[in-house]
Structure 1
Amino acid sequence: MKKEPLDSTQIAGRQYEVEDYKREDELSSGLAVTHEQVSDDYMAGTIDVKLNNEKDEKNSIPRKE
């Protein structure tokens, strides 16, 4: 089966849909993977982590340049 190249008009304005996980075209597959990655990062939290010390004071983890 020969794949047709994606036309930029197919990509422009296209947003993730739940059905993209079941579709087999390249655009849907890419959107599903990207959605999964963003969802995983969102659920993992932010990089500005706060830690509680013994006195229940919050301290930021210093960033190394």
Structure 2
Amino acid sequence: MTENKQSLEIAGRQYDPSDYGSASFLGAALAETHEQVSDAYMEGTVEAAVDRENGPDIPLSQPE
């Protein structure tokens, strides 16, 4: 496959749930990106914070 055709194939690739078990770099990267977007969406807020497992969250913005 020529480099141009391979680039077009990669650019057109979309997330698939089977990517979570993928051995390919692209599949794993798509699964990780999907997880990050899903987590940010489900958080339900635009305020950035560091989520701490054992303690309070740390807000990244300055209080007004």
- For residue 18 of structure 1, report the CA deviation from its aligned partner: 0.4
- For residue 46 of structure 1, report the CA deviation from its aligned partner: 2.2
Match for residue 55 of structure 1? none
Gaps of 5+ in 1: 1-6, 49-62
Match for residue 9 of structure 1? 8
What does 1:1-65 align with in structure 2 at a 5 Å threshold? 7-47=6-46
TM-score (norm 2): 0.59
Alignment-mate amino acid for residue 20 of structure 2 = Y
Q: Give 1 or 2: higher helix fraction.
A: 2
TM-score (norm 1): 0.58
Gaps of 5+ in 2: 1-5, 48-61
Q: How many residues align structurally?
A: 44
**Structure (1 or 2) with the larger CA radius of gyration:** 1
Taking the aligned partners of 1:10 and 1:22, their CA distance within structure 2 comes to 20
What SS does the aligned partner of 1:16 have?
coil
Over 6 Å off, 4+ runs? none
- The percentage of aligned residue pairs carrying the same residue is 52
Alignment RMSD (CA, Å)? 1.7
